[in-house]
Structure 1
Amino acid sequence: MDKKIFLERGTMGAIGAWVMDQFDLLLPTVFLLTILMIIDYLSGMLASKKEALDHPNSKQYGWNSKKSLLGIYKKASYIFIISVAVCTDYIIYKFTVELGIKFEHKTIFGLLVTTWLIVNELISILENAGRMGANLPDFLKKVLTELQSSIDKKGKKM
């Protein structure tokens, strides 16, 4: 049993080391996205609880296990989206190397997609804070919305 655990951990460590070597800029953004997804999930749960207190006789408000599970599925799908983007980056990088074209960046789409998802999470956290009763600074929401829009435009140009 110990050999199996050692083999699994060694394999995961080797894969992790290779990914970090290949996508040194992408990894910190994926880590940040993971933290923001957890914060968004928790803030959504708190906002639902607060709304349930504000509307005690309404089943429309409050924490719901089905909504919670759907939120987890949505966040898990981010992994698939980023994986597709990273695979696209890998294909582009490998083909440019094979064709003899000097291409400095190992990741374009992976970083772009991850950044877009980070902005979505930040906006969602702000919305959850608003649902809990916090006064949101309009300039912050405006900046995040404009950033999301500029990322969309950058993606359309590619």
Structure 2
Amino acid sequence: MEVTGFKGVGALIVSFVIYLIDVINEAVVVLIFFMLLDVITGLLRSWVTKSWDSPIGFSGVVKKVGIFAMIGMAAAIEYMVMSVGQDPKGMMLLGVTSFFIVNEGISILENCAQIGLPIPAVLFNALEKMHRDPSGKEQRLVRSPMLDRIDKKELLKENEALLHQLNKKKEEEETK
């Protein structure tokens, strides 16, 4: 329930912003772009993790077709409302599309995290919490243990120590 609530709030915010800037038709274009990015990052993730699985890929394509079916349903309902003289101003279509934009964005973020890209701790923790929920994505988010150990201050200290060692070796070689 928390996952759906999170996506719903995200969709509400995206819907409101899109409504304010009056780009209702462009929301579908953004959704298609996000779907394309999701497919690309999904392929990269499966390549990096060496986990090619045709049924999972096919399932993703089927889900994306289902998304367009739901958007079509929302458009049909809006058309029906407009045919009786009401003006929904595209809000139903915008809300449904925004929900799926948020959903695709989360999937892209998950794919990037599984590839090994550094994800801010706040976002990573939110993704991890979503995966504890049974209604979350079917695969658990895997992050490289190396990324958990990285602390910027420690990394700077290690870089300084390595630089000092390199300079020391360079000086020793020059004195020989």
Superposition pairs of residues 3-152 of structure 1, within 5 angstroms = 25-52=23-50, 62-95=51-84, 97=85, 103=87, 105-139=88-122
Post-superposition offset of 1:25: 3.4
Letter in 2 for 1:91: M
Counterparts of 1:126 and 1:42, CA distance in 2: 12
In 1: Cα distance, 2:102 partner to 2:26 partner: 15
The TM-score with structure 1 as length reference comes to 0.60
Checking the alignment, whether the CA contact within 8 Å between 1:90 and 1:106 is kept in structure 2 is: no
What SS is found at the alignment partner of 1:33? helix
The answer as to whether partners of 1:93 and 1:106 remain within 8 angstroms in 2 is no
Runs of 4+ with >6 A deviation: none
Distance (whole Å) between structure 2 residues aligned to residue 44 and residue 121 of structure 1 = 11
Structure-2 separation of matches of 1:138 and 1:117: 24
- Please report how far the alpha carbon of residue 139 of structure 1 lies from its aligned counterpart in structure 2 after TM superposition: 4.4
Q: 1:90 touches 1:107 (CA, 8 Å); kept in 2?
A: no
How many correspondences in the alignment? 105
Amino acid at match of 2:98: T
| Cα RMSD, aligned residues only | 2.1
- Distance in 2 between the 1:48 and 1:139 partners? 25
Give TM-score scaled by structure 2 length.
0.54
Q: Does the CA-based 8 Å contact 1:33-1:118 persist in structure 2?
A: yes
Q: Which one has the largest radius of gyration?
A: 2
For the Cα contact (< 8 Å) 1:37–1:75, is it kept in 2?
Answer: yes
CA separation in 1, counterparts of 2:92 and 2:122?
28
Instruction: In structure 2, give the amino acid aligned to 1:82.
Output: I
Taking every aligned residue pair, what percent have the same amino acid on both sides? 32
